[in-house]
Structure 1
């Protein structure tokens, strides 16, 4: 600011409105500085406040100006996933290209610093997982046929990386649980097909156990529980 008077009437001092605690002003030259260590654009991206200039006369005169401070963004935010962990379910009979699920992370930074890509973290237990992860939107898609009897679940880690400099990333645990379908026939283990005959004593009593059939089914739950029945009887003597 300037003052056309002479002497003390032309000497100026500066001040800010009292409520503006984020900034301070040099009362002699009017330079404005930040009064806090960090300004967070994600909390507030603009400050508008009044600056006062007044002379040092016995009856000081005052001028007022409005100052606008726009906070520029830096890549100081990490991607944040919407869930603490992800669990998806897929039938073992699902078709290839079926969408299993989707992970999603957001980043509060602006521009490329707020853009996120998704990556698998290599898991030695599943070096060639039967699905892909979309780098752009986090969609998980089936790429191979599943078999519950071979693998009941897949555990892996997904990382979200922003495109800022330097890039920041966050990771999340993901589990895909394979749902069993009734796709396995019961198998009779005993007696085997090479010997289906049973030798009986002539004095066998009614209700006496003469043979125990052993069978199994690889399906789970009710689909793997077996019942037994005789489909035909041979009454020949």
Structure 2
């Protein structure tokens, strides 16, 4: 009995004449093609008449975890977003958006912050980054969140990492980093020493200048008020001293009464 395939539509499959099993002739990739359909014909060795029969075969290509998650947003590890100090807790600040070309569990993604993320938190399923708590004075700085995007592939998941840089500042102008922060050890969660790259915005410089001018102006105002109050106190003390001097002088004076009639020896 001979078993053959329809060579016009069998794709990377063949059935050798000496075997009755289906073989591949090359590497299969589900991302390129996930299904093949072709006809298989079997015929006997009849001496006078050969009888044959055919059947349609469908081959589904099983997925393997051969694609790492691809981060779409943010576009760069040196991009930066400015956050207002007045932002209320629970507000969504931004998100990490990633895709995976695999299927099933191999394409299901999980988002994890490796380094210290306070006061921000990341949703492990959606990648949304929200403000976890009210922003305080020490939070007015650059926050570098190192986020690892992992799939759920078996036996070993694949990973991709990205930096989310958030600058808490009064100005909402776009900022950027001069360099990419130092990558911590991962995928094992650690709390590395925080590394900051300088963020640059024209508004930060102008805001700092305004703060300096306001502080100087306030200081001069306080000094002027102190001088005025000191002068007023000295003036009042001087007047009080003058009044006391006049009173003491009057008390020490002896009044002389002049006689209405003057006598002489004559």
Task: Tell me how far apart the structure 1 counterparts of residues 62 and 82 of structure 2 sit (CA, whole Å).
Answer: 43
Task: Tell me how far apart the structure 2 counterparts of residues 18 and 179 of structure 1 sit (CA, whole Å).
Answer: 67
Deviation at 1:43, TM superposition (A): 2.7
Count of residue correspondences:
182
| C-alpha distance after superposition, 1:181-219 (max 9, x if no partner) | 58969112664745766xxxxxxxxxxxxxxxxxxxxxx
Task: Tell me how far apart the structure 1 counterparts of residues 20 and 129 of structure 2 sit (CA, whole Å).
Answer: 57
Does structure 2 retain, via aligned residues, the 8 Å contact 1:118–1:158? Answer: yes
Does structure 2 retain, via aligned residues, the 8 Å contact 1:148–1:179? Answer: no
Pair 73,153 (structure 1): closer, same or farther in 2 beyond 3 Å: same
Deviation at 1:116, TM superposition (A): 1.2
Deviation at 1:14, TM superposition (A): 2.2
Instruction: Report the equivalent of 1:172.
Output: 162
Instruction: Report the equivalent of 2:36.
Output: 47
| C-alpha distance after superposition, 1:39-97 (max 9, x if no partner) | 22233222110112234557654432211112222322222222333643321211121
Query: Per residue, is there more helix in 1 or in 2?
Result: 2
Are 2:54 and 1:26 aligned?
no
Does structure 2 retain, via aligned residues, the 8 Å contact 1:89–1:178? Answer: yes
User: Which structure's CA Rg is the greater one?
Assistant: 2
Question: Any stretches of 5+ residues in structure 1 without a counterpart?
Answer: 1-11, 198-237
Does structure 2 retain, via aligned residues, the 8 Å contact 1:14–1:28? Answer: no
Question: Residues 141-220 of structure 1: matches in 2 within 5 Å?
Answer: 141-146=130-135, 151-165=140-154, 166-181=156-171, 186-188=214-216, 191=220, 193-194=222-223
Are 2:82 and 1:96 aligned?
no
Instruction: Report the equivalent of 1:218.
Output: none
Deviation at 1:145, TM superposition (A): 3.7
Task: Tell me how far apart the structure 1 counterparts of residues 88 and 117 of structure 2 sit (CA, whole Å).
Answer: 18
Deviation at 1:26, TM superposition (A): 1.5
Task: Tell me how far apart the structure 2 counterparts of residues 150 and 130 of structure 1 sit (CA, whole Å).
Answer: 8
Does structure 2 retain, via aligned residues, the 8 Å contact 1:148–1:180? Answer: no
Query: Per residue, is there more strand in 1 or in 2?
Result: 1
Question: Any stretches of 5+ residues in structure 2 without a counterpart?
Answer: 172-206, 228-266
Task: Tell me how far apart the structure 2 counterparts of residues 49 and 111 of structure 1 sit (CA, whole Å).
Answer: 26
Deviation at 1:140, TM superposition (A): 0.7
